[in-house]
Structure 1
Amino acid sequence: MNRIYDIFRFAEDSPLIFTQANFWIFFVCVYLIFAFIYKKIALRNVYLLLISLLFYYKTSGAFVGILIFSTCVDYAIGGLIYKQTKKNIRLALVTTSVIINLSVLCYFKYAYFFTDSFNYLFQTDYQVINWLAQWSNTYSQQNYFTVDKIILPVGISFYTFQTISYSVDIYRGKLKPLKSILDFGFFVSFFPQLVAGPIVRAEHFVPQISKVRAVTATHFNMGTLLILKGLVKKMIFADYIARQFLDRVFDAPEMHSGFENVMAMIGYSLQIYGDFSGYTDIAIGLALLMGFTLPKNFNSPYKAINAADFWKRWHISLSTWLKDYLYIPLGGNKRGSMASYIILSIILIGVVIAFKNFVVLITITSIVLIIFILSQYISTFKNYINTNINLLLTMLIGGLWHGASWKFVIWGGLNGMGIVVYKLWRKISPYEQKKAWYFDWWKILVTFIFITFTRIYFRGESMSHIERWYNQVATNMDLQNAWAILVHYKLVFIVMGLGYLAHWLPEQTKERIEQFYFKSPVYLKIAYAVIVSVVCYQSYSSDFQAFIYFQF
């Protein structure tokens, strides 16, 4: 009983993580009550809302207040938008919703980023102050909160995008507002996907709230299979190789050969896929066990045959959100607006600031001038630039969504350029329409290499850290000792090989495995769960590895 009490009370050093036994004790307790009330829609929704708020409180403490604030604001604004018939007022209301949500997000996530960039550009020395903490301390006449540091609330990027989608979908006429703020709170805070997605659209999830969600045999089979897959991906294909090899290399790239740094990047592609895909598999599986359907977030992304295909398969809920709520409103592939060019110019200036390098300044300036001159004399080139500027801008902003640093913008920009270059290449490529298997595998390999090695800007802790990585790869490959490295870390590389092999299995093979699991009797399913649990926890470290996307 003491352990159950500890699980349900807040403790900063023990958040509820899917890979810890405490979470599964928590879920079993929650599920036992859920099983008795799931047919009573109103009671079920209130119950899951309270449990979700408790889950978030366990993860983020007092930041649950920010979640409640966002919920109240967008519920109220959504109702006002629906009641209004005047277009200008509706537009003003939805704009207010977007501004409030993005202001809260920017305050917590980008305060240091904007302050540091401003200080560098204008040679000032402004310091970040936590105004909310200062106001709270002044109001309470107590020093409860630290004023010189802003802590990022877990999952704020995910639930902010969800609340924005609610207001925008009502404005667009795709959705009617929920009658109860409790139901809306349930939509915003549903605990399986609350802190790391997938990002749930209001138009997809809200209709499920008002219906009895029976747990069918299909739900149970798919839900449990996804949970087991997610645990393997996270605890073995992500955490194990990170602890045993990747973190050692990335912590001190200059202490390892270029070969080790290259292998660490290849391993990191598996780690981040196993980590994030593993989380969303578990989240979707948990939701299915309660009768709710969450959107698919990954579709074998390393089978992508080009950069555009990759972003249709990776973090699908974010990619489609950015397309529908940013890319298309900016003009899509029809034209670049004035706003597009202004925002892109600001971002390019920021990239120059990030590198702090004269050569980078000259390079970017030259590219911009060449593009400008060509667009003045070649109409087809000008049209091409206009139709792709919003795509590049969306990828740049998508990069910034992932982290408050210019290195994330660079990472997003590289991926955007990869898509733009591919769109040019496919027009002249003699292999684009070839159907032989080796052409597809060649495309997959090239795409995988591109995606993997642009991720150094995602994984690197700073620009200097990234430069040290590049220096080792460029000057110290040390290939004569490559075999010795492979032998020394043989278990790590075997796990990496198995992870990629599992990922690249044909879809028909994966479907047969699923059907085999579905048709297995209950006692075999229990045996599979025990085996997976034992294998996962044999690789477990006492220092739990938080999911990478918790920081976003």
Structure 2
Amino acid sequence: MNKLIGEKVKSRLIWLTLASFFFYGWWDWRFLFLIIFSGLVDYFAALMMQKHPKRKKLFFILSVVANIGSLSLFKYSGFIARNIDLLFGLEGNLMLSTHVSDFFLITPVGISFYTFQSMSYTFDVYREKLKPTKSVIHFFAYLSMFPQLVAGPIVRAKEMLPQMLKVTPISKTERWAGFQLIVRGYFKKMVIADNLAPLVVAAFSSPELNSSGMYWWGVMIAFAFQIYCDFAGYSDIARGLAKWMGYDFPDNFKHPYISISLQEFWTRWHISLSTWFRDYFYIPLGGNRKGKIRTHINLWITMLVSGLWHGAAWTFVAWSAVHSFFLSFEKITHWPQRISKVALLRPLVWFLVSAQVLLAWVFFRATSIDQAWEIVQRMVLFTGDNYLGWGLNGSIFITLMFLRELSVGLKLEERIQQVPAWLEMTFYAFVIVVIIFFRGDGSEFIYFQF
């Protein structure tokens, strides 16, 4: 019987690996060699750490260098090259036929996600929190699992590898839960995010920026819901598919826009990444254990690396700096906790925290630092006419999201008793109809670029 289960597991892992390679190779088969290289380095490094414990630090360093090196080469070479061009005055020099930036490489889709996922494996083996698998198929089935391969959530090896050694029947409850997640994910992406995308794209791609500060607050609210529904929608679909396969992926979003502190926001937004940086970067740096000044330094370094993880641009560096400043100010003053003690003032705290998040999103979305500063100035000074510029479609979908987040904040869902099964199925049938007839123009998932 055990042998039979073992054969089932092996066949399942082989099929999963091949299907995942086909899925990733459909975009560009050449980049399969990159994920195979990264995987083999970590697979053998983990085995060597176990076989030669006295040299495990050496093999761990080799793993980190190989992963960060390949990530830097493919993701940051263009950014570095462009800055070399600017530093040495090569940009715009008509006498030079070739610039350094002409040699930058294409960024493979999802490279940041699977690189960090692979690194979690060697980190945990090095810290002796996980025993390495001796099956290369087992490891690659984990690393390349197609539902979350290109945009997360980042699944830890210690959470996923044990699950993959079991073949258990999928219950009706799990199938229904997976279906709900998938439908909700498609609704978030196709109905909310894709309908808000044209409004945001038009605002940031206009040759002349709109002079209205209120307009830009409206645009950033639209972008905040667009990126949330785009990314959370993908995560929901991935989690739903995983449930149909008999696996559990971690929840990647927990309604971040109801947060009443920026620290809380980061416990609700892109949870798999924020906890990755906390466990494998911030805490090893010393976390908050080495004094107040060192705590802030570690915070700023972690946020800087997080910003660069998102992309090779100064706008992402600025985005991380804005969050770092607000987080440090929050840690020093504890202003959200102090004001929130008065129940009537909690909406004010939520409003101020939301404003901080929206201002930071400007740098994340802007095409340049100059554009971001111009927009922020208009928002802070409330220049120009007072109109949001959402239009009918934007107003409808943004209102839907406001009501959704408000219902979560007021815990209305918890107060509603269990509805009959027929009513629940009717509701999801209605949602599917809405997805079909009210979907926006298709657009690529935002986090594919990372």
Structure 1 length-normalised TM? 0.74
Residue number in structure 1 paired with 2:95? none
1:499 aligns with 2:408: no
Residue number in structure 2 paired with 1:548? 446
Separation in structure 2 between the aligned mates of residue 428 and residue 160 of structure 1, nearest angstrom: 36
CA displacement, residues 488-535 of structure 1 (integer Å, 9 cap, x when unaligned) = x1231121011121122136433567953xx514x963x544432331
CA displacement, residues 305-363 of structure 1 (integer Å, 9 cap, x when unaligned) = 1111100110000001001111111111123xxxxxxxxxxxxxxxxxxxxxxxxxxxx
1:532 aligns with 2:440: no
Separation in structure 1 between the aligned mates of residue 11 and residue 283 of structure 2, nearest angstrom: 39
Match of 2:62 among 78, 93, 96: 96
Deviation at 1:49, TM superposition (A): 1.0
Amino acid at match of 1:448: S
Match of 1:510 among 413, 416, 424: 413
Residue number in structure 2 paired with 1:389? 297
Q: For structure 2, which runs of at least 5 residues remain unmatched after alignment? A: 92-97
* Residues 257 and 476 in structure 1, CA contact (< 8 A), matched pair in contact too: no
Residue number in structure 1 paired with 2:193? 238
Deviation at 1:120, TM superposition (A): 3.5
Residue number in structure 2 paired with 1:361? none
Match of 1:188 among 126, 143, 155: 143
Match of 2:76 among 71, 95, 110: 110
Separation in structure 1 between the aligned mates of residue 345 and residue 341 of structure 2, nearest angstrom: 9
* Residues 142 and 161 in structure 2, CA contact (< 8 A), matched pair in contact too: yes
Match of 2:86 among 105, 120, 126: 120
Amino acid at match of 1:493: S
Deviation at 1:386, TM superposition (A): 2.0
> Bigger shift: 468-477 or 420-429?
468-477
> Bigger shift: 320-329 or 467-476?
467-476
* Residues 456 and 466 in structure 1, CA contact (< 8 A), matched pair in contact too: yes
1:305 aligned counterpart, secondary structure: coil
Q: For structure 1, which runs of at least 5 residues remain unmatched after alignment? A: 1-36, 130-146, 336-382
Matches within 5 A, 1:29-428: 40-86=8-54, 89-121=55-87, 123=89, 127-128=99-100, 148-243=103-198, 245-252=199-206, 254-258=208-212, 259-335=214-290, 383-426=291-334
Identity %: 38
Deviation at 1:418, TM superposition (A): 1.1
Amino acid at match of 2:73: Y
Distance 1:182 1:100, change over 3 A: same
Q: In the comparison of the two structures, how many residue pairs are matched?
A: 438
Let me know the Cα RMSD of the aligned residues: 2.5
* Residues 85 and 100 in structure 2, CA contact (< 8 A), matched pair in contact too: no
* Residues 175 and 203 in structure 1, CA contact (< 8 A), matched pair in contact too: yes
Separation in structure 2 between the aligned mates of residue 474 and residue 95 of structure 1, nearest angstrom: 46
Separation in structure 1 between the aligned mates of residue 81 and residue 401 of structure 2, nearest angstrom: 41
Residue number in structure 2 paired with 1:451? 357
Which has the bigger relative contact order, CA under 8 A and spacing at least 6?
2
The structure that has the greater radius of gyration is 1
1:233 aligned counterpart, secondary structure: helix
Amino acid at match of 2:327: I
Deviation at 1:63, TM superposition (A): 1.1
CA displacement, residues 431-472 of structure 1 (integer Å, 9 cap, x when unaligned) = 2433x2x33222211111100111111000112332443465
Deviation at 1:179, TM superposition (A): 1.9
* Residues 166 and 202 in structure 1, CA contact (< 8 A), matched pair in contact too: yes
Separation in structure 2 between the aligned mates of residue 263 and residue 328 of structure 1, nearest angstrom: 37
Separation in structure 2 between the aligned mates of residue 122 and residue 203 of structure 1, nearest angstrom: 47
Deviation at 1:189, TM superposition (A): 0.6
* Residues 111 and 128 in structure 1, CA contact (< 8 A), matched pair in contact too: no
Structure 2 length-normalised TM? 0.90
